[in-house]
Amino acid sequence: MENSNNRKEIVVCITGASGAIYAKRLLEELKKDDSIITSLVVSKMGISTIKYELNIEIDEFYKLADNYYLEDDFYAPIASGSHKFDSAIVIPCSMKSVSAVANGYADNLIARVCDVCLKEHRKLVLITRETPLNAIHLENMTKLSKLGVIIMPPVPAFYSFPKTVDDIINFTVGRILDTLDVKNNLVKRWGDE
């Protein structure tokens, strides 16, 4: 495992919800920043969704991260609060994962990483993917928001006049990077020419 005290570690978790392209783009951007270490966890359904939506093998994702762990690896350093990663993001985040995190059901490494963020008061960002939302989804997300979790559905903005799907993806990933305190130029800022 790569580690250094002067580098920020961000844990990127991918569930089986639609939207693996957001995770790929995020990992590509984070890889450009030498001050960041990325640790990656992909669920079994996440692996399946990556192959289905992007027509690529999981090894392509693993190459974008500094470290990667299997979803059932509870011996991974990121499973412990004593391991000082800075923040975690679940991108995309299924409602099943939202429910697990909201109810303390850490049955895989993704939910455990989120549990560590909650108990250690670290930044946790969930890129939630579902529509429409039912009352249970909303209650779970409200519960997490009250605990300080950032709930961030990948909603496009049209004031930047996107021309391609890539423009829409870049906008969302830029806003995610802002939330993670990572400098980027992906977002056309309101009021900028």
- Which tens digit of pLDDT belongs to each residue from 49-105? 999 999 999 999 999 999 999 999 999 999 999 999 999 999 999 999 999 999 999
Q: Give the pLDDT confidence score for residue 18 in this predicted structure.
A: 97
Q: Is 190 a member of any domain?
A: no
**Position 41 in a domain:** yes
Is 80 annotated for ligand binding?
no
Say which CATH number the domain at 168 has.
3.40.50.1950
**What's the Cα-to-Cα distance from 68 to each of 79, 143, 147, rounded to whole Å?**
12, 29, 27
Do 95 and 128 meet the contact criterion of CB atoms below 8 Å apart?
yes
Radius of gyration, alpha carbons of the chain: 16
Q: Is the pLDDT of residue 5 over 70?
A: no
Within a domain: 79: yes
Tens of pLDDT along 95-146?
Answer: 999 999 999 999 999 999 999 999 999 999 999 999 999 999 999 999 999 9
Q: Is 82 annotated as a binding residue?
A: no
Task: Say if residues 129 and 153 touch (Cβ distance below 8 Å).
Answer: yes
> How sure is the predictor about 193, in pLDDT bands with cuts at 50, 70 and 90?
low
For residue 72, is it within any domain?
yes
- What average pLDDT does range 39-54 have in this prediction? 97
157: in domain: yes
Q: Annotated binding residue at 43?
A: yes
What is the structure's pLDDT at 2? 46
Is 87 marked within a binding site? no
Q: Is residue 173 part of a domain?
A: yes
Residue numbers of the domain that contains 20: 8-179
| Domains of the chain: total | 1
CA angle 22, 27, 33 (to 5 degrees): 135
Say which residues have a Cβ less than 8 Å from residue 124's Cβ, sequence separation at least 6.
87, 88, 89, 90, 114, 117, 118, 148, 149, 150
Segment 172-181 mean pLDDT: 96
172 within a domain of the structure (yes/no): yes
**In a domain? residue 189:** no
Tell the residue number behind the tokens 């270490």, with chain if given: 37
